[in-house]
Amino acid sequence: MVTKTTKTKKAKAAAPAKKKTTKAAAASALAEQPEIIKAADELAPEIESQASGPAEKYYESVGRRKESTARVRVYTKKSTDVQVSEDKALIEVNGKPYYEYFKAIPLQNIVESPLRKLKSINRFKATVRSFGGGIHGQADAIKHGLSRALVLFDPNFAKKLRKAGYLTRDARAKERRKYGLKKARKAPQWAKR
């Protein structure tokens, strides 16, 4: 004998009701906290002055490698920009200097290689938003994006960067796994007898 269970009205009623918040409720909650409003009033002129200032001109480009993507913005360096040292470029990756984001020296060399190739390590500054893939793929994506942005800045850079191979999107990626195999080409162990 098969018994059938059904949901009762009591089970539905036992579920907690969601609270709906309205704009009026949110405004009254803010009115109860005057220190938040005071802090917002003090910061308002500072925010307005930053917003009204002239926007700095930049050249933006996207670089890719494997599963990594890097959005690069290149600015011409000003005298007011702080310089860490003569042999370090002014590149910020995800809010950190590139030598802090990439701890390994070979990865740092990959990131700054387009600027070193053009002998312009101290001429530009760059901000990068990098995501996806691994740390090595991100470094190569930044190199690709930085090279593309430098060509937008000056098309004469293209010859040197293309000869070095920095403008070519490196299409090498992991090969897909095939059915019946363990990896792309690795087969299970086979014995004749």
DSSP 64-116: EETTEEEEEEEEEPPTTS--S-TTS-EEEETTEEHHHH--SHHHHHHHHHHHH
pLDDT of residue 77: 82
pLDDT digit string (tens) for 5-37? 555 555 455 555 555 556 555 555 555 655 555
Domain presence at residue 54: no
Length of the chain: 193
Domain presence at residue 7: no
Domain presence at residue 83: yes
pLDDT digit string (tens) for 81-100? 777 777 889 999 999 999 99
Domain presence at residue 125: yes
The CATH number of whichever domain residue 158 belongs to comes to 3.30.230.10
Per-residue pLDDT at 155 exceeds 80:
yes
Band of the pLDDT at 191, cuts 50, 70, 90? very high
Number of domains in the chain: 1
Domain presence at residue 187: no
Per-residue pLDDT at 68 exceeds 90:
yes
Percent of the chain with pLDDT over 70: 72
Domain, as residue range, for 153: 59-164
Mean pLDDT of 135-149: 97
Band of the pLDDT at 56, cuts 50, 70, 90? confident
111 and 102 Cβ atoms separated by less than 8 Å: yes
Domain presence at residue 159: yes
Domain presence at residue 65: yes
Taking CA atoms, 193 is separated from 127, 190, in Å, by 62, 9
